Amino acid sequence: MLHMGILPDYIGVSAFGLKMGVIVPGSDVVSMVGEVLSKCARDGFLDDGDTVCVTESVVARAQNNYVTTDDIAEEVRKKLQVGPQGRIGVLFPILSRNRFSLVLKGLAAAVPQGEVVIQLSYPTDEVGNQLLPFDFHETLGKCEGDTILLEDIGEERFLHPITQVDYIALYEQIVNEQGAACQMILCNDPAHLAGYELDGVVVANIHNRFRTRAKLDAKGVNCITLQDICNSGPKSWSEWGVLGSNLSSGDKLKLAPRDCDRLADQIQKRVQQDLNKNVEVIIYGDGAYCDPSTGIYELADPQPAFGMTAGLRGKYREGLKYKYLVDKMLDEGYDIETIAQHIHARKDEQLDRSSIETEGTTPRKSEDLLSSLADLVSGSADAGTPCILIKGFLQK
């Protein structure tokens, strides 16, 4: 076996995927993470100040945090106070088979003799999945934001540019298969749905859910968000509700994990007690990554980190603008060695965020950057490395 040992000081921030084996319901994630980190420690590859990132997927699976479409239907009937013949709205769902198809099935199953009115945003959903060609409204003689009906679009509908899925047809089919009628409209004004005299509305977008709900509340609409569905016990639950849920098998969804701060603390404590190392821990989901080729914002989870240890909360990644300082000192006639010594001496200096030395270096939450890096390393296709060890990030 190759023993890598401690990385030399000329290597900066580095991230490594750690293999942990198969994790199933009932697995002890804390012990499994501790075991793989003990191998790192044995090989001189675990240091104080490292960050341990564990993907939410295996945490939720170990918690057996699964619900069914029937569970969703029951929750919707209870929280919106609707019966089988009710009429409900679904506002601004994202276009995703993995993230939303089974959620929609559960919503429609709540009103099997009723109707589901789905209002989609255009030309893309909240995270950039394209529903219509850009500027398509202009071909209809409409202003941006005007309501577009299916008859306006016609039979030759736009397919998702990557998956080639007709999401309008898919979502209609899902609703109809539950016995409910389906009406589909495209409009970017959330208050538009208030005019349909519905028994209740499920606000289905992710990052702007509170703003969206507030607009409906102001109209007196009976509404909940996806976070309000399956967000408490005694069955499987997550404080995030069905936000961050994923397709599992059959009619099952895997919810986001629950109580992630507590789990992160347990891992941190285990590493300190067993390995005498002080690390920070994050339970991460989707990275905050926008694909430059498609414009799709990959963050379909409510936030990149579901939980973390206290040492990361509220911490920002910020510092000197090295490029500016180098150029400035070169122009002033300093040699390379002097420039390097000056930058090293100032690296721990606390600067005002509006100062010229930090210009262009936008402070970003450490938890977002760490989670995004971990997600890119582990990959959404699952590289078999659900634990990512990040070194050098918290040291300047």
Task: Answer yes or no: do 51 and 90 share one domain.
Answer: no
- What's the pLDDT score for residue 155? 80
Around Cβ 244, how many Cβ atoms within 10 Å?
24
Q: Could you state, in chain order, the average pLDDT of each consecutive group of 10 residues for the chain (396 residues)?
A: 60 91 94 96 92 96 97 97 98 96 98 98 94 91 89 88 93 98 96 95 97 96 98 93 93 96 98 97 94 89 96 78 71 79 64 46 84 88 82 80
Task: Answer yes or no: is 174 within a domain.
Answer: yes
Task: Answer yes or no: is 368 within a domain.
Answer: no
Task: Answer yes or no: do 183 and 266 share one domain.
Answer: no
**Domain of residue 271, residue span:** 14-59+257-316+376-391
Strands (E), 148-196: 148-149, 181-186
Count of domains in the chain? Answer: 3
- What's the pLDDT score for residue 145? 81
Task: Answer yes or no: is 8 within a domain.
Answer: no
Contacts of 237 (CB under 8 A, 6+ apart): 65, 67, 230, 231, 255, 258
Task: Answer yes or no: do 197 and 263 share one domain.
Answer: no
Q: What is the CATH number of the domain that holds 28?
A: 3.30.1330.100
Task: Answer yes or no: is 117 within a domain.
Answer: yes
Task: Answer yes or no: do 142 and 275 share one domain.
Answer: no
Task: Answer yes or no: do 72 and 117 share one domain.
Answer: yes
Indicate the pTM of the whole model: 0.87
67 near 235, Cβ under 8 Å? yes
- What's the pLDDT score for residue 354? 45
37 near 52, Cβ under 8 Å? yes
Q: What is the CATH number of the domain that holds 131?
A: 3.40.50.620
225 near 203, Cβ under 8 Å? yes
Q: How many whole angstroms separate alpha carbon 121 and alpha carbon 189?
A: 8
Q: How many whole angstroms separate alpha carbon 365 and alpha carbon 80?
A: 36
- What's the pLDDT score for residue 293? 86
User: 92: number of CA atoms within 13 Å, CB side?
Assistant: 28
Gyration radius of the chain's alpha carbons: 24
CA-based nearest residue to 281, from 244, 303, 312, 304: 312
- Among the candidates 205, 238, 254, a domain finishes at 254
Contacts of 111 (CB under 8 A, 6+ apart): 82, 83, 84, 85, 86, 87, 88, 180
Task: Answer yes or no: do 87 and 205 share one domain.
Answer: yes
Q: Give the dihedral of Cα atoms 206, 207, 212, 217; nearest 10 deg.
A: 80
CA-based nearest residue to 222, from 239, 237, 202, 204: 202
- What's the pLDDT score for residue 357? 42
- Among the candidates 200, 232, 254, a domain finishes at 254
- What's the pLDDT score for residue 186? 96
CA angle, residues 62, 371, 126, in degrees to nearest 5: 95
Task: Answer yes or no: is 1 within a domain.
Answer: no
Task: Answer yes or no: do 150 and 162 share one domain.
Answer: yes
Task: Answer yes or no: is 100 within a domain.
Answer: yes
Task: Answer yes or no: is 369 within a domain.
Answer: no
Task: Answer yes or no: do 71 and 176 share one domain.
Answer: yes
Task: Answer yes or no: is 337 within a domain.
Answer: yes
- Among the candidates 214, 238, 254, a domain finishes at 254
Task: Answer yes or no: do 222 and 98 share one domain.
Answer: yes
